Structure 1
Amino acid sequence: MTVSSPSRFALLRRLTPDFFTSALMLAMVAATFWPAAGASARVLGHVTTVAIGALFFLHGAKLSGAAVKAGFTHWRLHLLVLACTFVMFPLLGLLLKPLALTLLTPELYLGILFLCALPSTLQSSIAFTALARGNVAAAVCAASASNFIGIFLTPVLVGALLMHGAAGQASSLDAIISFAQLLLLPFVAGQFARRWIGPWVDRHKNALRYVDQSSILLVVYGAFSEAVGQGLWQKLTPGTLLNLALFSCVLLALAMGATILVSRRLGFSREDQIAIVFCGSKKSMASGVPMAKVLFATSSLGVLIVPLMVFHQIQLMVCAVLAQHYGKRLD
């Protein structure tokens, strides 16, 4: 069966980097040639801290309590998504350690372990589930629950996983306390304030996403500014980046294959299977980059977030193709 020209163009648009991915690349280029240093780096650090607090405040305000409560009505699906996100991925990260250390540097492998501990994406999981004609309501609840639980569970998982990576890299008690102060408290405050600002936040969701993106860009620029001064591009050669992309493809293929197989074996409907695949096999850069800023030293942050950035783009490209495939099969 041939694919029509409009379908080919639509798929091509989904495979090309979006505006935000292009902005991330520009932030890396800017940090390479015009890195923040001295007083400007300190000011950038303070601005970034405020932006991250605002980001998680809005995350809390956007998360509807009704959506979380509704999730309990489909508890088998949500438990499977959570198990894929916070159990399967960390286990894959540990099991793939021999391959990772063959292809990647130890620092990049730590970034892989951090990636495996992150919650699922929110917006793109829902968007791809809708495109594939899956259970959108279940995807909303599953992705919301993943992000909510990730606020508490991710720093614990990071500490446990990094103990298997390299000595001295695990999250310390000070990092956990900073995480609670800078991320958890704003998130809880946002949930508390939702009763007053919730309708306004819901009406302006599209505009408020620029707060998310601006916060991430600030973190990426600051992290790469620091890393460039420590020889980042000597560590990230073209060959290393190619190996990282290859490893990310292997990790994503295993995760997606496992979610497809298990959801079928457990007897979920086709619509539920689609929601499980798109929510259980993805990782959130919107939550991951700010979390990394709090949990890791600035000197290592630049390298540690590179696996997340690469995996994020690959998952978007693969999910675009898969969503198109699901939709066409229904047609």
Structure 2
Amino acid sequence: MNIKLDKFVLAILVAIVVAYFFPQWGIATSPIPLDTISAVGIALIFFLYGLKLSPQKLKAGLGNYKLHLLVQACTFLVFPLVVLLFRPLVQNAEHELLWLSFFFLAALPSTVSSSVVMVSIAKGNIPAAIFNASISGIIGIVITPLWMGLFIDDMQTDFDFTEIYMKLVLQILAPVILGLLLQRFWGGFIQKHTKKLTLFDKSIILLIIYKSFATSFTDGVFSGVSLFDLAILVVGVLFLFVLVYMLTGRIATALGFSIEDRITAQFCGTKKSLVHGTVFSKIIFGGMPGLGLVLLPLMLFHASQIMIISAIASRFANREMPNEPAN
């Protein structure tokens, strides 16, 4: 298998290194208004997300309800329930935060762009991938805070559902709806410049990651994290990914899915969105000092899912298709 390190993963590593050596730009007393920049950037990301959503493509994907139910069930039920099984192992406040970071990862929606790209490479069901990846982000606006509210309330006394959903509506849902309303006018233009706009999305995410880690390094959040804990995180994200990937494949096979639908189910149902994760973390966790630690499993998972799925997609891409001549 040919596994390549994604450039965005490298950029994330650079952002963390910069946050370690130059944290002064990301703390509350910084003269650079990173909070304002990231808030505006978040709204623009989801406005552009709305512009890219094609109502016609979404309607075209509605029919395959078994596939959609499987993908969304894996994303919002299987992932959280698997992590929930390990909650009895929590013994102290440090373990609680590490477990919470895994649960946050598990409660997140699927990613859009990489899911569709990988399904396309693997010759899966592309319309269904577009539908599921797109609808997942919208469902996550409601489901993710509900899952997190079950456990954050015990650790964070100022967790307020009303405030959380107001922020989600103003910063995420409203821009998405505005984008959808304007999609007929600007949708074509946005599709032509997707790569350039993706660069903007990633820049905002890197900014949020830098600020989160700068604050965490300044507050000494990682001082209690040993190499053993880090190893547990790496093994944990790999175990979580492989378990859900295999389980999704077994269920898809049992339901009699075609190979194209099974590819889509496994690729979309096992992805977690770094974009939604970094944005949701700012809104749900607020000024929590351990935000960098909360994001760590998500970033490890992001790197793992890209490398593993890209290798699997390449293998599927080389299969002989029914209407293609053998090489």
Q: Normalising by structure 1, what TM-score?
A: 0.89
Task: Give the match for residue 191 of structure 2.
Answer: 202
* 1:321 shift after superposition: 2.5
1:156 pairs with 2:146: yes
Q: Determine the C-alpha separation between the residues in 2 that align with 1:23 and 1:128.
A: 20
Matches within 5 A, 1:41-80: 43-80=33-70
SS of the residue corresponding to residue 108 of structure 2 reads: coil
SS of the residue corresponding to residue 158 of structure 1 reads: helix
SS of the residue corresponding to residue 40 of structure 1 reads: coil
Task: Give the match for residue 31 of structure 1.
Answer: 19
Residue type matched to 1:71 in 2?
G
Q: Determine the C-alpha separation between the residues in 2 that align with 1:70 and 1:325.
A: 28
Give the direction of change, closer, same or farther, for the CA distance of 1:315–1:293 in structure 2 (3 Å limit). same
Residue type matched to 1:21 in 2?
V
SS of the residue corresponding to residue 250 of structure 1 reads: helix
Once the two structures are superposed, residues 195-231 of structure 1 have per-residue CA deviations (whole angstroms, 9 ceiling, x without a partner) of 2211111111111001210110110111111111111
Residue type matched to 1:151 in 2?
I
* 1:84 shift after superposition: 0.9
Matches within 5 A, 1:211-222: 211-222=200-211
Task: Give the match for residue 80 of structure 2.
Answer: 90
Task: Give the match for residue 228 of structure 2.
Answer: 239
Q: Normalising by structure 2, what TM-score?
A: 0.90
* 1:171 shift after superposition: 5.4
Structure 1 residues not aligned, in runs of 5+: 1-7
SS of the residue corresponding to residue 256 of structure 2 reads: coil
Q: Is the 8 A contact 1:122 1:284 kept in 2?
A: yes
1:144 pairs with 2:144: no
Residue type matched to 2:227 in 1?
P
Give the direction of change, closer, same or farther, for the CA distance of 1:161–1:70 in structure 2 (3 Å limit). farther
SS of the residue corresponding to residue 316 of structure 2 reads: helix
Give the direction of change, closer, same or farther, for the CA distance of 1:171–1:288 in structure 2 (3 Å limit). farther
Once the two structures are superposed, residues 255-285 of structure 1 have per-residue CA deviations (whole angstroms, 9 ceiling, x without a partner) of 0111000000011111111110000111111
Cα RMSD after superposing both structures: 2.1
Q: Determine the C-alpha separation between the residues in 2 that align with 1:185 and 1:260.
A: 35
Give the direction of change, closer, same or farther, for the CA distance of 1:38–1:277 in structure 2 (3 Å limit). closer
Once the two structures are superposed, residues 177-200 of structure 1 have per-residue CA deviations (whole angstroms, 9 ceiling, x without a partner) of 222221221121111221221111
Task: Give the match for residue 276 of structure 2.
Answer: 287
Q: Determine the C-alpha separation between the residues in 2 that align with 1:277 and 1:230.
A: 39
Task: Give the match for residue 169 of structure 2.
Answer: 180
SS of the residue corresponding to residue 134 of structure 1 reads: coil
Q: Is the 8 A contact 1:48 1:219 kept in 2?
A: yes
* Bigger mean CA offset, 254-263 vs 193-202: 193-202
Task: Give the match for residue 121 of structure 1.
Answer: 111
* Bigger mean CA offset, 260-269 vs 38-47: 38-47
1:20 pairs with 2:23: no
Q: Is the 8 A contact 1:113 1:162 kept in 2?
A: no
Task: Give the match for residue 296 of structure 2.
Answer: 306
* 1:39 shift after superposition: 4.1
Q: Determine the C-alpha separation between the residues in 2 that align with 1:66 and 1:101.
A: 50
Task: Give the match for residue 323 of structure 2.
Answer: none
Q: Is the 8 A contact 1:111 1:306 kept in 2?
A: yes
Q: Determine the C-alpha separation between the residues in 2 that align with 1:167 and 1:89.
A: 23
Q: Determine the C-alpha separation between the residues in 2 that align with 1:45 and 1:286.
A: 16
Once the two structures are superposed, residues 11-68 of structure 1 have per-residue CA deviations (whole angstroms, 9 ceiling, x without a partner) of 1xxx232221111111111111111235426611111111111111111111111122
